[in-house]
Each structure stands twice: as C-alpha cells, then as structure tokens.
Amino acid sequence: MEKRQIGLTVIIPTYNAADYLDRLLKIVVPWADEVIVCDSFSTDNTPEIAFSNNAMVFQHKYINSASQKNWIIPQASHPWVFIIDSDELPEPGLLKEIDAFLGNVPDDVQMAFMPRKNMIWGELPGKGVNYPDYQARLFHRNYGRYPDKEVHAQLEVPGRHIYLNNALIHDDFKTIHTWWLRNDRYFRYELKELLKQRKKWSFRLQYIKPVYVFLKVYFRNRMFLHGFKGLFVSFHWAVYYFFVGAYLYEYEHKNPADPY
C-alpha cells in the first residue's frame, strides 16, 4: 500500500466495545500513523483490548457524542483525522482511497465524506440500509468540529469538502433486543435536543413525521425490494420518531409548568 504524504490519526470513540474493537484495531493500527481510543469509562475490557493492540487510550466523561469528539480531536498528533466507530469497518478500498487523497489534498479542501453501508442481522440488504448514508469522518484537525447537538451531530468545516467512493461497513444491528436498548438511550438524547431547541409537542411531530419517514425509507430508499428486512428497517425508523414525539409528550405532561 502506497504511503500517504500527510500524517493521519485514527480516533475510535468507545463504550463497552469489546465485541467489536479488536477486529477494527487489527486493521487500522498497522495502517495509521496514530490510533487513539477515546473511551467513556467502559466497564468491560475495552481499554485492555486497545492497549494490547498498541493503541493510545484516553478516557473522558461522556456528555454527548459531539462534545466527546470535540474534546478528543485536539489530542491528535497529526494534521488529518479519521473518526471511525468501533462497530464499523473500512472497506479495503477505502484505506487506499484515503491514502491517495492525502497524497494530493487540494489547498481548500478540509473534509471528506464517505458512504456507509448499514448491515442488518449481519447482512447487507442491497448496498445497505439508507445507502449511501454519507458520513463526515475524514477532516483536517484544525478545522473540523461538531455542532452543539445532543444527537446525530454531523462534523462541520468552514472550507470545501469532497466525497469518497469506498464505504464504511456498519454492523451495529445484531438483535432486536440490543437495538431497542440502544434506541431507548437515543430517545433520551433526542428529547434533550428538542428541549434545547424549545420544540413543543405537535401533531406533525408525533404523527406526520413517522409516516413520512416510513414512506421515505420504504419507497424512496427502495427498501421494499428487500422483503421483510426492508419492511422492518422502514418500520423501525417510523417507530423511532414516534417514540421521540412520545418522549416529548410525556415530558410536557409531567412538567406542565416548565416553559423550557
């Protein structure tokens, strides 16, 4: 593999990532100039797995994903940073494409988006759920920062960005049980963001948005081509946003005097 011309730090945010981390580190540690695991005080052996693979480990109290990443980015020793989650893997061609990009970065480009293929029950329906599901993960350390959002914050830079062709493989959906536990955590993050934005419960938020999301995923993203898996994924996103609305409804009825 051709050596890139610019130093690169890989950052991996983790919390109880022992089931995934080893396989990712075995790919990125030999390739990157530096690998940092930013751990939110895992209760499993995530830090030990990181140390055994010669990765650096920083531990920091988790507030939200955006603040955690903004805290760790300045710790990177190299000018370009690649953030990858512990339950993701790069396609083989992605590493080569990143090396080629960092060998000849245009002066005004500060970030690269990459597509992501989302697996379900260990398989890819077509090219994956919501493909291309572009993620902003490769960026110049001095410019890339996450906005102050509780959930689903997307990296921002003041300069120009480009799009890569090779993808991340996202393998986070193993069972309905683990999916529900994760979503219950995300519902609370979504509620905090709605309260921060002073959003009020509405018919549109509770009913229209979930239906719109279902139709968008099932028809526009062509999930109807993938049988029950496609139906499940589409229904999952409708349920997700229905519960986001329900959490806000519950909060307002439990706290009627809170003007937030």
Residues of 60-89 as b/e, b for ≥16 C-beta within 10 angstroms? eeeebbbbbbbebbebbebebbbbbbbbbb
pLDDT class of 247 with cuts at 50, 70, 90: very high
Domain ranges of the chain: 8-170, 176-254
DSSP annotation of 4 reads P
Omega before 132 cis (within 30°)? yes
Q: Give residue 260's pLDDT.
A: 80
Q: Give residue 2's pLDDT.
A: 53
- The whole-angstrom separation of Cα 48 and Cα 6 is 29
Query: What is the per-residue DSSP string for 118-163?
Result: E-BTTB-STT-BTTT--EEEEEETTT-B--S-SSS---B-SSEEEE
pLDDT class of 108 with cuts at 50, 70, 90: very high
In 3D space, the residue among 237, 239, 248 whose CA is nearest the CA of residue 203 turns out to be 248
Q: Percent of the chain, pLDDT > 90? A: 82
pLDDT class of 130 with cuts at 50, 70, 90: confident
Q: Give residue 158's pLDDT.
A: 96
Q: Give residue 42's pLDDT.
A: 97
| Number of Cα atoms under 13 Å in the Cβ half of residue 149 | 12
Mean pLDDT of 30-37: 97
Task: Decide if pLDDT at 255 tops 80.
Answer: yes
Task: Decide if pLDDT at 258 tops 70.
Answer: yes
pTM of the full predicted structure? 0.91
Phi-psi region of 3 (alpha: psi -120 to 50; beta: other; left: phi over 0): beta
- The whole-angstrom separation of Cα 229 and Cα 234 is 9
Query: What are the φ and ψ backbone dihedral angles of 67, each rounded to 5 degrees?
Result: -70, -35
pLDDT class of 3 with cuts at 50, 70, 90: low
Mean pLDDT of 222-244: 93
Each residue's pLDDT tens digit, 41-94: 999 999 999 999 999 999 999 999 999 999 999 999 999 999 999 999 999 899
Burial of 214 (C-beta count, 10 Å sphere; 0-12/13-18/19+) = buried
Q: Give residue 63's pLDDT.
A: 93
Mean pLDDT of 121-142: 88
- The whole-angstrom separation of Cα 222 and Cα 130 is 9
Task: Decide if pLDDT at 206 tops 90.
Answer: yes
Class of the CATH domain delimited by 8-170: alpha beta
| Number of Cα atoms under 13 Å in the Cβ half of residue 68 | 25
Q: Quick one: CA dihedral 113, 119, 122, 127, positive or negative?
A: negative
Each residue's pLDDT tens digit, 153-179: 999 999 999 999 999 999 988 889 888
Mean pLDDT of 111-132: 87
The encoded tokens of residue 54 equal 């010669």
